Structure 1
Amino acid sequence: MTELPVAHPIASPQPGAAEYPGLDAWRDLPVVQQPTWADSEVHRAAVSELSSLPPLVFAGEVDLLRQRLADAAEGKAFLLQGGDCAETFEGATADKISARVRTILQMAVVLTYGASLPVIKMGRMAGQFAKPRSSNDETREGVTLPAYRGDMVNGYEFTPESRAHNANRMVQAYHTSASTLNLIRAFTQGGFADLRLVHHWNKGFTANPAHSRYESLAREIDRAVKFMDACGADFDALKRVEFFASHEALVLDYERALTRIDSRTGLPYGTSGHFLWIGERTRQLDGAHVDFLSRVRNPIGVKLGPTSSADDALRLIDKLDPQREPGRLTFITRMGAGNIREKLPALVEKVTASGAKVLWVTDPMHGNTVTSPNGYKTRNFDDVIDEVRGFFEVHHALGTFPGGLHVEMTGDDVAECLGGADPIDQHAFLERYESVCDPRLNHMQSLEMAFLVAGALGKRP
């Protein structure tokens, strides 16, 4: 297994902002969901500092991920992408980061067995500090302030000082991301990721009577691990795993400042993360986000909601993946449980007929958001799982490959999404609702999802 080099904020200095034809064309295009920085001098200084700091990820790592995603697009691997809706500076502790990584590793073991395929492990981590919002402002008790747009832009506390858009937060996001990546690499390159240990953790999940129906699959995995051990499998190699970082490339000042030119190829790479995606609110074909990300070599994702047409998808392919390069483009569908079976088939059919080799991934979270009777933003676990089932049903019917799962989750024992085998009800929100933005599956709900998806993968044609 390839070891990924460690990014560290005291590495060798890099040159200033990358110069490459077209990298600044986005500045003359319509742009949405961007901060309004309070102080232009602070903004200039922050961008200048970011432009001179070391990359958070490296071109070789990005190229490796593109190869892995190309395998997934060919049906030879499966992508698991998970993490917080919006990371916070306060939440970037060793305990919380390790809990998220641990949960993703646990899910990956189950999915690997169910799919009989390698699982690409990717966190919504080390950069997911900005969020698009439906309104620029928020009003509480007659007071109106700017909406919270993620810790990269402003604070969650409802005060004028906290809610002001402060460009220094971009620099703090960089350093917090560097620390997070260092911890992730330490966890995934050492004994923490040992296959036997990760499987042992899953035994605790199935020991809960609420999850007893998953015990038979857990026993099968246990027998497989013991068989590998008896055959002399190299468990030293299985102590290390590849783990990639991803986030929505929303704040273009940050993404542009962290773009670097690879000395080997002379091409630009976004070094803020391995995988960058464009959200449902920023995928305008003539917009700044699509233009900028069309010019970097990273694998790119695009969120497609229920209003997306097949023609939209084909035009996005022409813009973002004109060479039809496997591993370059991932479509992340977020249709909602009530729309997935109706809306997805036409997209998949037309894209497949075009000859493009995109990776299809389901995001079953964002299309299923509701408000609980006691006023909390939530999702029903059954709706989330139904969208995943619909995603698999559509691909199975069309003979195409359902290539991945993109989920908002945490490794902590929060109460934000309703339901599950060990059910969360709305009363638990009063004490255990922690998200500053969208509701996440907790540790147990995430593992339950993995067992359910593993069953669907095992039944694929």
Structure 2
Amino acid sequence: MSTSSTWSPSSWRDRTVAQAVKYEDPAKLQSVLGKITKLPPLVTPSEIERLRHQLALVQQNKAFLLHAGDCAESFDACTHENITAKLGLILSFSLILIWGARMPVVRIGRIAGQYAKPRSSGTEKIGDREVPSFRGDNVNGFDPDDRKPDPERLLSAYFHSTTTLNCLRGLLASGFASLNHPRDWSLSHVRSPILRKEFERISESISDAMDFSRTIGADGGPSFELGGTHTVQGEVDFYTSHEGLLLDYEESLTRHLPVPPALRKTSDEKAWYNTSAHFVWIGDRTRQLDGAHVEYFRGIRNPIGIKVGPSMQPDELVRLLDVVNPDKVPGRVTLITRYGAEKIAQFLAGHIAVVQKAAHPVVWVCDPMHGNTLTTSAGVKTRHFRTIVSELVACLRIHSECGSRLGGVSLEFTGEINDEGFSVTECLGGSMELNEQELGLRYQSFCDPRLNFEQSLDVAFVISEFFKSQRQGKGNLDAANVLLSELGKRA
């Protein structure tokens, strides 16, 4: 990737910053950023480069990308139980996909740093009060009386990210992802007998296959773990991500580090890595071509995501790709489309066509969540499972018709359960048939509504059916029809 000599980690400061946070005490902000600059990196260049290589494999139809987690993390949710539940759901989803697709799954969690939240307005109405909008735990508090942006929250974000990463790495190193015991990922609270039966069938089939392999002496060790490449015996690759919204924070964790030896063009080659996460993305509200975010993102070596919505003009998309990936490096850019079920047919094909014509290598990922939010008659913000899967089905169909391929899915989901062992109730439908009256039972998100454990596995089985249909020799469009049929059973 070429980086202009005019770029530096701070060159974005000469541009207009969308979604900027205004701090009352700039000196305090600089003091906090100075501390973060001296703290250790959260992730390493070798991990970042390995992810970029695996995303190139996704582009080549040799892997599938699962990008999933919370809309916005909270500091209070940084517990061993919650982190374990999130990882368990991502692994369970991966297992179902691998079983249907027979290809590795690249897992990127919206975790260990997804604390900021872009907002369409600087203020919001709470009761009779108009207060500054909640911007995420690394900016201000959810409590209406705690809305003043506080730079110390950036330091808290760093340490909560560190704690989360430590927990994730400990779980993976301890064999939590081993296929020898997928039930440890917990289905104890799943109330759908269909889901439980299907997941147990897959688990038992894999267990039988592994027993047979061991019997004939073909036990491949780590290769029998949950897909992908491996760093340490018994571990699987798992990557972290967040929206690169607060550029002050991102700059403070951008380091000039040696490129891994196998990738160096010279013996002393270094590159600028954002060490706050393996993967960062530009949001739909911050992708202005002449804006600060695009300027910052064009210079880091990390693989990056770009949200693509209805307001993205086709020529604008190509110009944006030209800026952030002028050398057309494989694995560098992931396009995350988020149109809404009613608009995807109007926009996706045109975006695919211009990217194909420009010969830009990208991973196409469907985000069927953000364009399908609705408000119930009682004023509750929610999403419906049927609409989410409808956009996903349309995305698969349109890619097929355009000679393209959907390489992954981006979901907002959670594996969290309460003390009574029940999942959250934030989205409607699914095999558990969640209705409007049940939304208030365990609505825990302070941001956007998330699919719960059961609804997430519903989506996993639907995608798995699509890939299974492909493997059985049916065309993509036939497989999409299978998906629609499966949707009818689960919605």
- TM-score between the two structures when normalised by the length of structure 1: 0.91
After TM superposition, the structure 1 = structure 2 runs for residues 114-193 of structure 1, keeping only pairs within 5 Å, are 114-159=100-145, 162-193=146-177
After TM superposition, the structure 1 = structure 2 runs for residues 235-250 of structure 1, keeping only pairs within 5 Å, are 235=221, 238=225, 239-250=234-245
Deviation at 1:82, TM superposition (A): 0.7
> Residue 381 and residue 144 in structure 1: after superposition, are their counterparts in 2 closer, same or farther (change >3 A)?
same
- For the pair 1:230 / 2:234, whether they are aligned, the reply is no
Q: Partner of 1:358 in structure 2?
A: 362
Q: Partner of 2:430 in structure 1?
A: 420
The worse-fitting range, judged by mean Cα deviation, of 304-313 and 129-138 is 304-313
Return the letter of the residue paired with 1:328: R
Q: Partner of 1:68 in structure 2?
A: 54
Pick from 311, 324, 327: which aligns with 2:328? 324
Q: Distance in 1 between matches of 2:350 and 2:201?
A: 40
| Contact 2:71/2:114 (<8 A) preserved | yes
| Contact 1:138/1:144 (<8 A) preserved | yes
Deviation at 1:444, TM superposition (A): 0.9
Q: Distance in 2 between matches of 1:102 and 1:53?
A: 30
> Residue 20 and residue 45 in structure 1: after superposition, are their counterparts in 2 closer, same or farther (change >3 A)?
farther
Local SS of the residue matching 1:163: coil
| Contact 2:424/2:442 (<8 A) preserved | yes
Q: Partner of 2:461 in structure 1?
A: 451
Q: Partner of 2:485 in structure 1?
A: none
> Residue 89 and residue 205 in structure 1: after superposition, are their counterparts in 2 closer, same or farther (change >3 A)?
closer
Q: Distance in 2 between matches of 1:242 and 1:31?
A: 34
* 1:347-405 CA distance string (max 9 Å, x none): 11221122111000011100000001211111001100111111111112222221001
Return the letter of the residue paired with 2:304: I
| Contact 1:410/1:443 (<8 A) preserved | yes
Q: Distance in 1 between matches of 2:211 and 2:322?
A: 48
| Contact 2:190/2:453 (<8 A) preserved | no
Q: Distance in 1 between matches of 2:365 and 2:154?
A: 29
Q: Partner of 1:384 in structure 2?
A: 388
Pick from 63, 84, 106: which aligns with 1:98? 84
Return the letter of the residue paired with 1:61: E
- For the pair 1:261 / 2:256, whether they are aligned, the reply is yes
Q: Partner of 1:6 in structure 2?
A: none
Structure 2: runs of 5+ lacking an equivalent: 226-233, 260-268, 417-422, 471-475, 477-491
The worse-fitting range, judged by mean Cα deviation, of 426-435 and 195-204 is 195-204
Q: Distance in 2 between matches of 1:151 and 1:187?
A: 25
Q: Partner of 1:111 in structure 2?
A: 97
Q: Distance in 2 between matches of 1:156 and 1:206?
A: 30
Q: Partner of 1:22 in structure 2?
A: 8
> Residue 183 and residue 434 in structure 1: after superposition, are their counterparts in 2 closer, same or farther (change >3 A)?
same
Q: Distance in 1 between matches of 2:391 and 2:327?
A: 31
The worse-fitting range, judged by mean Cα deviation, of 106-115 and 198-207 is 198-207
> Residue 325 and residue 199 in structure 1: after superposition, are their counterparts in 2 closer, same or farther (change >3 A)?
farther
The count of corresponding residues between Structure 1 and Structure 2 is 439
> Residue 206 and residue 113 in structure 1: after superposition, are their counterparts in 2 closer, same or farther (change >3 A)?
farther
Q: Give the superposed CA RMSD.
A: 1.9
Q: Distance in 2 between matches of 1:227 and 1:140?
A: 56
Q: Partner of 1:46 in structure 2?
A: 32
Return the letter of the residue paired with 1:304: V
Deviation at 1:258, TM superposition (A): 0.5
Return the letter of the residue paired with 1:377: K
After TM superposition, the structure 1 = structure 2 runs for residues 306-317 of structure 1, keeping only pairs within 5 Å, are 306-317=310-321
**Percentage identity across aligned positions?**
40
